Amino acid sequence: MSATGAGSVTVQDAIDRIGFGRFQLGLLAVCGFTWAADAAEIFLLAFALPAITEDFGLSTFESSLVVSSTFVGMLCGAWFWGTIADRIGRRTGFAITIGVFAVFGLLSAFSPSALWLGVLRFMTGFGLGGAVPLDFSLFAEYLPRRNRGRWLVILESFWGVGTVVAAALAWLLVPTLGWRWLLATSAIAGALVFWVRLRVPESPRYLAATGRVDEAEAVLGKVARENGVAERDVPHIVPPADASDKVQIRRLFEGRLARTTVMLWSTWFFIALAYYGLFSWMPKILAERGLDVVQTYGYVLLLAAAQLPGYFSAAWLVERWGRKRTFVTYLSISAVCTFVYGSAENLTVLLAAAVLMSFFALGAWASLYAYTPELLPTRMRTSGMGAASGMARVAGVLAPLLGGLLIPVSLGLTLTVYALSFALAALSVALLGHETRDEALADTVGEEEASLVSGRPRFTRKPEHAQPRVTTTS
């Protein structure tokens, strides 16, 4: 790629000069569809759980083991594929993980027993657990620093879309055709995701970080052309200082990056323990409050729909308030609403608390997904995201089991435990987190440590070339 711009710059500076345009919008659509499919895949089993429990004659605890099998697979997948993707690339890793989750998601619809269902859902989760951190890392690495948090939150909002679709499908399919048809829908989504994902180029940050500068410049040239920016205006790039270093997971616990790792792991664990615990058992909780199966799915659909405005409000606030303040505020309100939800005796109060909890909890999740990749250097980004989301999968394994043990004892106690989990996640970020708004993504561990030491953003001034310059041709 020819360049007449001034000198050589980092990939972040080059992307800032190119700006946000048609390429990023197309990538948002691709990643968003993937993210919606991921969310639907997770919740399809939760929404089908009452019918599965009845079909196989399972106890409450045995049902929780079936749900937890998906999260055990996601735990293994997140830790395995996150590190692998830092070695083989975001694009290749994502194609493999999507293929795994689509194939085994389809096979789970034909499970002859609860044991087989658990095994096949484990394999489905193994693929899904790798796809989740890869999706956000890839999209983040193509974004200019200006309004990056907002676009990451908008990507996260597709999770709400997937949840709504899963709830709607459960409402339509389970009472009429049965739970097997519901699980089979994952194969269609997986095949579509696999096809559209093959059109996405490799991350230029990853290419530069592995010393493949020429390939990175070629990708940036393609991005510039799609965004209407003259390719000659895109400067040459320089690889980061640690481009030749091998990916080593232990580096997450070296120096001041260790503080970030501890904060992320604890935060992801506690928010997931509350969220997955609540939504895994939501149909059963509502059913125990006197709602029949059809009404239960209708109310769960309402709760899923309440997530969408939660995402969009967070998308606006992360750029006005910052990531840290938005997350802590939303999650604190989620904790209060969950506690009210657990103690409410009036059905109207219960449903209002549940809707508000859903609104603020998903806004908090969106803030966390925007926040996490900004805290990690390029060579450790998918490893770090995978490790952090792996802690969410540990919580995802424990949350249904915890509900299965506590719900027969006391529904109020169960929901109080989940409320405290929301509060602990908020406390972790409040005490250990630092703000990342308007920062460039770190390329090296050294850059991340410098930001933590100073307590200030690596870059606080918005770049002059944050918006694309449209050129005309005769």
Q: What is the DSSP string of 302-344?
A: HHHHHHHHHHHHHHHHHHHT-HHHHHHHHHHHHHHHHHHHHH-
255 found inside a domain: yes
69 found inside a domain: yes
User: Biggest alpha carbon distance in the chain?
Assistant: 75
Digitized pLDDT (tens) for each residue of the chain, 474 residues in all? 434 344 567 777 888 888 888 888 888 888 888 778 777 777 777 777 778 888 888 877 777 778 778 878 877 877 777 666 666 666 777 777 777 877 888 888 888 888 888 888 888 888 877 776 677 777 888 888 777 777 887 887 787 788 778 778 877 887 788 888 888 877 677 777 777 677 778 878 778 777 778 888 888 888 888 888 876 766 677 766 554 445 556 666 666 777 888 888 899 999 989 888 887 666 666 666 655 555 556 666 677 677 778 878 887 888 888 888 898 999 999 999 888 877 767 777 777 888 888 889 888 887 887 788 777 776 666 677 767 777 887 887 788 778 777 877 777 788 888 899 999 999 999 888 777 766 655 544 444 444 444 444 444 334 434 444 333 333
The domain that holds 336 is classified in CATH as 1.20.1250.20
* C-alpha 207: how far from chain center: 23
470 found inside a domain: no
DSSP letter at 263?
A: H
- Bridge-based pairing state of the strands 8-9 and 236-237: parallel
Q: Whole-angstrom Cα distance, residue 320 to residue 333? A: 19
CB atoms within 10 A of CB 18: 29
151 found inside a domain: yes
309 found inside a domain: yes
Domain that holds residue 347: 8-453
User: Which is nearest to 15 in space by CA: 151, 141, 155, 149?
Assistant: 141
472 found inside a domain: no
Which residues is 237 bridged to in the sheet? 9
459 found inside a domain: no
- Angle ∠(391,386,30) on CA atoms, nearest 5: 125
Cα–Cα distances (Å) from 340 to 305, 353, 365, 458, in that order, read 20, 6, 20, 41
Cα–Cα distances (Å) from 126 to 271, 373, 427, in that order, read 21, 21, 30
CB atoms within 10 A of CB 176: 8
Q: Whole-angstrom Cα distance, residue 156 to residue 167? A: 18
Q: Whole-angstrom Cα distance, residue 228 to residue 14? A: 15
Q: Whole-angstrom Cα distance, residue 142 to residue 38? A: 21
Whole-model pTM? 0.65
CB atoms within 10 A of CB 431: 10
Q: Whole-angstrom Cα distance, residue 222 to residue 210? A: 20
Written as one letter, the residue type at 304 is: A
Question: Token pair for residue 469?
Answer: 């310059």
Name the domain count of the chain: 1
440 found inside a domain: yes
